[in-house]
Structure 1
Amino acid sequence: MDHAFQKQIVEALIFASDVPISAKKIADLEEELDSRKIKKIVEELNSDYQKSKRAFFIVNVAGGFQLNTRKDFTPWLKKLFKGRLRTRLSQASLESLAIITFKQPLSRVEVDAIRGVNSGGVIKNLLERNLVCIAGRSEGPGKPLLYGTTKEFLRYFGINDIADLPKPKEIDEIMGKLDQEEGISESIIETLTETESFEDESNHKDDSAQ
């Protein structure tokens, strides 16, 4: 099989997949490809798209590859999906999600303690949207449920791994002294808000069902 046809296979699989498709999954579907070759092909495809001024490109998100439209075309995409774009997360949801993101796994009681209010309804909403999941149980009294983020969280915010988020300096110290603070670090919320905005504008899929 020649290299040009291998590129077409990778491109077709990424295009057809309705979720980010991993290099491992592609390699499982075509035995002549491995992760190294696939990553090189993706780089070549993006170079081809850039040279030919295509309206889309391939991103590495949530542990896989996905086609995204370029931000230049946001105005037309908004018109196309008018009334169908997903609802943005509320400030309370962003606060709770930021805490879970950087302190996971942790319990609802711990989230409540950091926010200073009951977060039960907010966490329920995040669970329904598949942005957080039950990550186990604490060994503490009552063995409360622990929460962590999901692959959908990564896809929603357009990031490949939690480590890709710019972690605020001394976040552990900040959150460890919240009895002296008025709220959680604003920089955490700003980070999630910025990535949410970027994902809304650039994702080529219709996320109205999310």
Structure 2
Amino acid sequence: MMDEPQTADHLPTPGVAIARTLEAILMVADEPQSLVSLATAIGAPVPAVRQAIEALVADFDGVAPGVDGASGIRRGFELREVGGGWRFYVREEFDPIVRDFVLTQNPTRLSQAALETLAVIAYKQPITRGAIAQIRAVNVDSVVRTLLGRGLITESFTDAETGAINYETTELLLTHLGINTLDELPLISPLLADGSKGFDDAQ
């Protein structure tokens, strides 16, 4: 049976429509999104986007009725401003649970792509996603998400000028490798068949 068309009484208000559209975009965004970039993406004025973001933050925090008018319920995630942009994050108190879930739901063995990306981060950290992609010459978005979920890398800091997130390895990686510091990593050049010096020439 086909859905009945919405009547004027049931159509979302412009503010609600903007908020839900932003929510959908932010669900798939890998980097924090500025108000200007969000406004451009959905074709809405920046003030309207700012107002919708504020409504979403209050909605997810459960401190006010949601953008649809329902009573506020605190969510397990939050909309956080980082480096001049907005992005969804798991609430800090749920980090251990989510980390354990990811580790138990995913196979222990990393793919070749993940291992190569992890090597780039280990030897070049702190490094942005864009720089990793440039070195590997492939898109690394999903691989970086996998490594984050496994707890092998973490977000180190956000560049104040570009808004790009820099990544670095965690203590968990050192534990898996059986070393105490990154200084104990082997030199990369003897491991490369072409005799190059590694990642030093990569920008």
TM interval, short-chain normalised: 0.3 to 0.5
TM-score in terms of structure 2 length: 0.42
Q: Which structure has the larger Rg over C-alpha atoms? A: 2
Structure with the bigger RCO (C-alpha within 8 Å, sep 6+) is 1
* Structure with more helix by fraction: 1
TM-score in terms of structure 1 length: 0.40
